[in-house]
Amino acid sequence: MDKIDVNGSLMDVRVLFSAEKIHQRTKKLADQINHDYGTTETLAVLIVLNGAFVFAADLVRMLQMPTEIESIRMKSYEGTQSSGHIQLLMPLPDNLAGKHVLIVEDIVDTGRSLSFLWKELQRVGAASVKICSLLNKPLSHESKDLKIDYVGFDIGKNFVIGYGLDLDSKYRNLPYIADLISPQ
């Protein structure tokens, strides 16, 4: 168990997925995506910043088709709670009409962010939209309708950090994914 500083108090973290385990799972996801899309058609990879930047950097280097890499920023979280209010923090890239789009996300919690983004991509006329998320909290989903095409790991409702995932903008650089354990 490691200790990290959270707002001045030392908190215990428990490693859930090591760097090695994440790498192996990412390779499996990339194999599946390569198989499903083939190697000829261009895939527009839409990275949800900031959280997905580490995962996406590893994933896209394992993809074999031509790609166009785009990004988007959304905000829904305050601390460890979903605010329920989704905001686009930058305009959607304007070149996605007619494209096959793969959204790359760090984690799906309530699913509100991705439902919102999925609808936006339908609105601008993407040819197809699929979702790849490293982590998924199925017990927290609000709607049964959200389909996540590629999932790295299903987890429980715990708040996790590392490998791109933050707590108030910190800890994204941890090479592993860890559970935050509150002090006794």
- The catalytic site residues sit at 109
Pick the closer one to ligand IMP by CB: 54 or 165.
Answer: 165
Q: Which stretch binds ligand IMP (CB under 6 A): 63-71, 94-102, 122-130, 154-162?
A: 154-162
Rule CB under 6 A: say whether 71 interacts with ligand IMP.
no
Rule CB under 6 A: say whether 131 interacts with ligand IMP.
no
Name the DSSP letter for residue 162. B
Rule CB under 5 A: say whether 152 interacts with Mg ion.
no
- Report which secondary-structure segment, H or E, holds 50: none
Q: How far apart are CA 107 and CA 152, in angstroms?
A: 9
Binding mask 101-130 for ligand IMP (x = CB under 6 A): ----xxxxxxxxx-----------------
Count of all residues that appear for the chain in the document: 184
* Residue with tokens 């995932």, as numbered in its chain: 165
Contact 5, 166 (CB under 8 A): no
Contact 67, 73 (CB under 8 A): no
Binding region for ligand IMP (CB under 6 A): 48, 51, 76-77, 82, 105-113, 159-161, 165-166
